[in-house]
Amino acid sequence: METRKQSKTLEEIVAELDRKTLNSLVCRHADNDEDFNWMILKAAMSKNDVYEDIKNEIASIKKSKRFYDWRTRGELYSKLGNILEAIELNITDSEQGIDLTRRFLLLDTSIRCDDSDGGLGEIFNYDAVELLKKFAPAYADKEKLEQIVYKLIEINDCGCHDGVLEEIGEILPEKNIRSLMTRDFSRDRDYIKPQMAFALKDAPLFEKLLAETRPNGFGNCDLTELAECWIAYGDLGKALEYALKIDHNLNYSYKKDDLLEEIYTKNGDIEALKKLYSENFMRSHSDETKEKILKNFGIDFFNDLVKQRIEMVEVLSG
């Protein structure tokens, strides 16, 4: 039997429900879902009350001595996720939003949890940092925000604040990032300041700071970031210099071809693109490469490559 195609979105359907039916459905679902019930209660509070309530929820987790093992950590993840969702849905004031997100992120030193699945780090480094990015633009006191970010980067023993550094360009203005770079950090100095320069897309500074920490030269990961930063800076020549040095035989080489493709495309270097696609096709006959060849150079060029590949296989097979 064919299913009838739904022409309306769920939001449109809910909007058309009468109040009694909607109330009945919400209450029935809330009775059977503790998390949903919690969110409904938060939505019914005043803005200031929900701010205080969420603050108390965070404080309660901070005070708890409970250890969440691999069997119960899902309960903790759900509780943390609910708090972040409540902040996102109910807090509109940027000062309250930044304050609650800061308190949340500082929970990492108090929570006792088996995080062997990486779930806790994902909640802190991605979900919570997204809230920082949401509230930061409207946060008026950028110096205070700078101090908050400094503390989060400085207090990061568990790695749950790595996302703050990675997204710092979306959280602080350039002026405040450069101010942070003048400060002293007690940990990971060789990593923190180069990453700030990377966030600023200040390729000359990023290259200088990175070189100071790499006495034995750059590895593939460094070369990749250098190429990316020089592309963002606008110097495609320097970007190409570093992209070509990435060794396909070592780790972190997977971005090399994408970087070269971006550079050659922006430079309008058709012959270099042909060579790149040809080498990729000979090395690995992927559908992605095939589509790029057909899109950019047509069926005749693709057929020639197929013929060359067949001849190469015949030679190798003896």
Residue 150 inside a domain? The answer is yes
Least confident of 19-23, 123-127, 155-159: 19-23
Kindly state the average pLDDT of the residues 33-48.
Answer: 65
30 in a domain, yes or no?
Answer: no
Q: For residue 132, tell me if it sits in a domain.
A: yes
Instruction: Give me the pLDDT at residue 13, please.
Output: 78
pLDDT of residue 10: 76
Could you give the residue ranges of the DSSP H alpha helices within the chain? 10-16, 19-32, 34-43, 47-63, 73-90, 94-105, 119-122, 129-135, 142-154, 162-166, 174-180, 189-199, 203-212, 220-233, 236-243, 256-267, 270-283, 287-316
Q: Which residues of 255-288 are buried (b: 16+ CB within 10 A; e: fewer)?
A: bbbebbbbbbeeeebeebbbebbbebbeeeeeee
Structural domain includes residue 209? no
Least confident among 16-25, 229-238, 277-286, 291-300: 16-25
- pLDDT of 233 higher than 60: yes
Which amino acid, one-letter code, is at 148? I
Q: Which one, of 76, 42, 74, lies nearest residue 61 by Cα?
A: 76
pLDDT category at 1 given cuts 50, 70, 90 is very low
Q: Where are the alpha helices (DSSP H) in 47-141?
A: 47-63, 73-90, 94-105, 119-122, 129-135
Give the domain-ending residue among 144, 167, 190.
167
Confidence of residue 60 (pLDDT cuts 50, 70, 90): very high
Single out the residue in 136, 167, 198 at which a domain terminates.
167
For 4-28, what is the mean pLDDT? 72
Whether 192 is covered by a domain: the verdict is no
Residue 316, CB half-sphere, CA atoms under 13 Å: how many?
7
* Averaged pLDDT score across all residues of the chain: 89
In a domain, 304, yes or no: yes
Task: Say whether pLDDT at 280 is over 90.
Answer: no
pLDDT(269) > 60: yes
Indicate the pTM of the whole model: 0.79
Question: Model confidence at 282, in pLDDT bands (50, 70, 90)?
Answer: confident
Separation between Cα atoms, residue 53 and residue 160, nearest integer Å? 24
Kindly tell me if the per-residue pLDDT of 129 is higher than 80. Answer: yes
pLDDT of residue 186: 83
pLDDT at 37 over 80: no
Domain endpoint, select from 140, 167, 194: 167
Mean pLDDT of 34-57: 75
Max Cα–Cα distance, the chain, nearest Å: 79
Flag whether 141 is in a domain: yes
Backbone angles phi, psi at 137, to 5 degrees: -55, -35
Number of structural domains found in the chain: 2
Which residue, 51, 44, 37, 127, is CA-closest to 84?
127
User: Strands 112-113 and 67-68, how do they pair?
Assistant: parallel
Task: Name the residue range of residue 311's domain.
Answer: 281-318
Query: Does some domain include residue 198?
Result: no
